[in-house]
Amino acid sequence: MLLGASLTYALMRAERHSPMGFVIVVSGAVIACLNFYLSIVRYRLQARERVSRADFRHVSGFPVIGTIIIVVGALLGFGCAACAVLGLVAIALDTGGAPWFLASTWNDAVLWNDAER
Distance CA 2, CA 76 (A): 11
What mean pLDDT comes out for the span 43-48? Answer: 82
The string over 49-79, giving b where at least 16 C-beta atoms fall within 10 Å of a residue's C-beta and e elsewhere, is: eeeeeeeeeeeebbbebbbebbbebbebbbb
**Residue 92 pLDDT exceeds 80:** yes
DSSP letter for 7, please.
Answer: H
Domain count of the fold of the chain: 1
Domain that holds residue 32: 2-116
**Residue 82 pLDDT exceeds 80:** yes
Cβ 35 vs Cβ 66: under 8 Å: yes
**Residue 57 pLDDT exceeds 80:** no
Among residues 115, 103, 113, 94, the alpha carbon closest in space to that of 39 is found at 94
Give the pLDDT score at 116: 53
Return the higher-pLDDT residue of 79 and 46. 79
Prediction pTM value: 0.80
